[in-house]
Amino acid sequence: MGARLLVIGSANVDLFATVPRHPSPGETLIGRGGQRSAGGKGANQALAAALQGADVTFVGAVGEDPDAQLALAGLREAGVDLGSVVTAPDSPTGLAIITVSEAGENTIVVVPGANAQVSVEQATAAVGQMGAGDLLLMQGEVPRETTEAAVRAAREAGRRVVLNVAPWMALDHDVLTAADPLVLNEHEAELAADELGLTSQGDDPAATAQALCGAGTASVVITLGAEGAVVAAGPDEVTRVPSPRVSAVDSTGAGDAFTGALAARLIEGDDLVAAVRHAVRVGAYAVQHPGAQPSYPQADAELP
């Protein structure tokens, strides 16, 4: 059997509204939409990786409610192993309320629900089933203690960890530096540098990536939206990877498309820069289509 990708993370239902622009505090705008689709950073990244050909197991939690089926539908259709997903009867399935402007920018409010019930025991049991060559992928939408326990268990077992601390949570230093790579956007990278006690590098993501590697992280990827990404494979080895120029319709879930595709290519044996070059193209494809999971390309899709 080939290497597998273990994703421990969130599964949500996304509720979308489209507005001409984002409202000011206290302002009411008339919007359009109201569509509901599967989301959650963990589920998004698991699906993006599976669509790129990875053999994926997803570990998470949903409520005992109708939203549970919607939250998992895309993963099930893509053949993701859902045997480690639990039902939390006292919590609803997670919900994300997403407002998208006509410029394609979004704001998101996440109500974790059952995602807050993903336990240390559940996560470490799944990590214990990992084989040689398997890779663990985690984000920031399950409890901190669960994230830290899973990352430590994986590293102790000699398994590679891709850690996307989004949304940001303050993790212990040994957990942040266990990532290979640590995947962050520019804002999250500044927060990670501050957490590790590093001097601010201002608006220079390449310098921030180098500093994070200098603090002990094996590799760092900082995503730059339409500008692509910066890859640091060490404190003295930095590569800028541009993104194709496309017309953005909706950026929701594009970062997850990037991270899932990145993990899928690492499982296949790509080096980090090659994996990022592919991932920025997958992210660029996703922003040209509305929604999160519905915007993700199949492995045979023509990428920009």
50 labelled as ligand-binding?
A: no
CA 200, 201, 205, 208 torsion-angle sign: negative
* Residues 279, 240 contacting (CB under 8 angstroms): no
Residue 302: how many other CB atoms lie within 10 Å: 7
Flag whether 106 is marked binding.
Answer: no
**Is 10 within any annotated ligand binding site?**
no
Q: What angle do CA 218, 268, 266 make, to 5 degrees?
A: 25
Among residues 65, 67, 180, 256, the one annotated as catalytic is 256
75 is in an annotated binding site: no
Tokens for 206, please give them. 């390449």
Please confirm, yes or no, whether 256 is among the known catalytic residues: yes
Q: Would you call 128 helix, strand, or coil by DSSP? A: helix
User: Is there a binding annotation on residue 39?
Assistant: no
289 annotated ligand-binding residue: yes
- Which one-letter DSSP state was computed for residue 93? P
Is 220 marked within a binding site?
Answer: no
Question: Is 286 marked as a binding-site residue?
Answer: yes
- Distance between CA atoms of residues 9 and 172, nearest Å: 18
Nearest CA to 249 among 286, 278, 282?
286
Do residues 161 and 138 touch, judged by C-beta distance below 8 A? yes
Between CA 190 and CA 208 the distance in angstroms is 7
**81 among annotated binding-site residues:** no
* H or E stretch covering 33: strand 32-39
Tell whether 141 is in a known binding site.
Answer: yes
Residues belonging to the chain = 304
185 marked as binding residue: yes
Q: Is 234 annotated as a binding residue?
A: no
Are the beta carbons of 100 and 248 closer than 8 angstroms?
Answer: no
d(CA 106, CA 186): 17
42 is in an annotated binding site: yes
User: Has 14 been labeled as part of a binding site?
Assistant: yes
Binding positions are 12-14, 40-44, 141, 185, 223-228, 250, 252, 255-256, 286, 289, 291, 295
Binding positions for substrate are 12-14, 40-44, 141, 256
Known catalytic residues are 256
Binding positions for ATP are 185, 223-228, 255-256
Binding positions for K(+) are 250, 252, 286, 289, 291, 295
